[in-house]
Amino acid sequence: MSATPQKNRASRRVLAAAAGLATVGALVAAMPAGAHDRGHGHGGGHGHKPRTVDVQLLSFNDLHGNLEPPAGSAGNVSETQPDGTVKAIPAGGVEYLATSLRTARKGNPYSVTAAGGDMVGASPLLSGLFHDEPTIEALNGLDLDVTAVGNHEFDEGATELARLQNGGCHPVEGCYEKGKKFKGADFPYLAANVTKEKTGKPLLKPYTVWKKNGVKIGFIGVTLEGTPDIVTANGVKGLKFHDEVETINKYARELDRKGVKSIVALIHEGGAPASTSYNYDCDSPGAGDGISGPIVDIAKGITPKVDALVTGHTHQAYVCTVPDPSGKPRMVTSASSFGKLYTDTTLTYDRRTNDIVRTSVKSANHVVTRDQPKAPDMTRLIDRWNKLAAPIANKPQGWISADINGRGSTAPEKPLGNVIADAQLEGLAPADKGGAEVAFMNPGGIRADLVHKASGSEGDGVVTYGEAFTVQPFTNMMNVVDLTGAQLVTALQQQVSGPNEASPKILQVSKGLTYTLDLTKSGADRVVAGTIKLNGEAIDPARTYRVAMNEFLAGGGDGFPALGEGTNKLVGASDLDLFNAYLAAHSTATAPLAPPATDRITVIQ
């Protein structure tokens, strides 16, 4: 299931030394017309520059403000061993990412670092509490050269995105450190396919050209065209999102006319490889065979003028080739999420044609291991912001007896999803709070696991405010609405049909709602309508039910238009407040909350 996320954190708020050495083989493709590869650095005779030069492209995506190593299973990458077994390797954290990138750059005079979007948004408290200023500061320190926008860059709207780019203190909360003004990103955010509705002009730069010693590489950045479906209406107000392929092709022609023949597309859209192991060879048995999802059709439509695609959004790891429109293989990469991997791609630049020799493009993903030295400047940055966050972050909210998996669970029904849905139902069931009978939680809104091991000095099993915030960082206000039984059934069928058919989004449901999900069927039939029951009684299509959900879902987000049809809306507390209240009500130090059973959705595979 795609790790498609969403949603706006509203303006209300509480205040490699050894860079993972396994490589993914990838064979690639097609020379530019008229280029003759003379081999790396050869040609020209004495006193002349070599004909070709190797440019190192380092890339990553979907950092989501994870400055500290992500906790629990969400902080692991899967690695297939020579004997076929799969090993989980703890990875990520900007202290290690900085070391990995700096180590990788050594001995590479031509090195450029690019990202595929969602650098910020849905961030843990350390970054999210400060509107992601700490992450932008860290990316500046990592020497990021360029990134595309992702959907999460729009969580707080275009004005806030412009502030992240250009600097200035927050319009409501001001400057966080006395005498220090936020400087903004010293790398360009690219948004080629996002225009202002009123003027039709691009919101941010569509492309940038990286130059060194006469070598020129153009970068075009786009986010997924469907961004408005997965971000609140406020976040994308006044903006239009255009087709990724048409946009990239348009700007590739423009770069080509300007004499920039080497082009990389940064695309915040992705796919799903057949294996979750980062070292899976997805060109075995054939180019592109091992990857599915939206990026495949996008890659097949992008002009051959573009030499490589850096992608993201699905939080998957892959190094694949997908044929371009002329049938020649072209590199498509993604580096998982949360800074756990980086991709190292070699682009051989031909000085005579100013183009990339596509037959010699090589690429591999590397693990950002945690057994290498930490970058001291990143440690200082984290310590500085942690001191500011500590009074809020360290407050205990409840106790758990073991890990309660959310983001780290691959099952349709997630233990932490059940806890969150139950918290929402309990908080909104009283008549004066909305009279909710059932609650739905979107899976992409669960951003982490609740981990038993202490993250700081709080002790094992203690859930701090910072940990709860990391699970639910959007501060969504809760809504309770009237929906008919027929609308409820339709909403459940929309989990596996329409926009969600190819990559189902299984809602997490509160206790009392049960049904069968038959994955051997197709489309809406996968939700077996006759099995849907509430507290043991079949859903009555004509009856009205009071349904609780966050404001994002209540607006029809994530491909659930039926949920957007609710009436008689009551706005309740935030999802985070209800989550924390539930933890406080259902756990003590001596009677911690145990992971709940996952028996609400019966899955037939």
- The answer, yes or no, to whether residue 289 has pLDDT greater than 90, is no
Q: How far apart are CA 167 and CA 316, in angstroms?
A: 31
Pair type for strands 189-190 and 146-148:
parallel
Distance of CA 151 to the CA centre of its chain: 9
Residue count of the chain:
605
Our CA angle for 138, 141, 147, nearest 5°, is 75
Q: What is the pLDDT of residues 380-418, one digit of tens each?
A: 999 999 999 999 999 999 999 999 999 989 999 999 999
Q: Residue 75 is encoded by which pair of tokens?
A: 């902080």
Q: How far apart are CA 270 and CA 263, in angstroms?
A: 19
The strand pairing partners of 190, in sequence order, are 148
The pLDDT of residue 180 is 94
State residue 338 phi and psi, 5-degree precision.
60, 20
d(CA 595, CA 297): 40
Using DSSP, state whether 247 is helix, strand or coil.
Answer: helix
Instruction: Please state the pTM of the whole predicted model.
Output: 0.89
Phi, psi of 77 (to 5 degrees): -115, 150
The C-alpha atoms of residue 137 and residue 134 are separated, in whole angstroms, by 5
pLDDT band at residue 287, thresholds of 50, 70 and 90? confident
Higher pLDDT, 263 or 288: 263
Pure H helices in 271-428:
294-301, 376-393, 415-428
Question: Which residue type is seen at 139?
Answer: L
**Tens-place pLDDT, residues 54-75:** 999 999 999 999 999 999 899 9
* Integer Cα distance of 348 and 56 in angstroms: 9
Q: Is the CB of residue 113 less than 8 Å from the CB of residue 76?
A: no
The pLDDT score that the predictor gives to residue 28 is 36
Asked if 273 and 319 count as a contact pair (C-beta separation under 8 A), the reply is no
Distance of CA 484 to the CA centre of its chain: 34
- Identify whether the C-beta of residue 545 lies closer than 8 Å to the C-beta of residue 483: yes
* Per-residue pLDDT tens digits for 455-477: 889 999 999 999 999 999 998 99
Q: SS3 for 422?
A: helix
Dist. CA 454–CA 194, nearest whole Å: 42
Q: What is the mean pLDDT of the chain?
A: 92
Q: How far apart are the first and last CA of the chain?
A: 14
Half-sphere exposure of 34 (CA within 13 A, CB side): 6
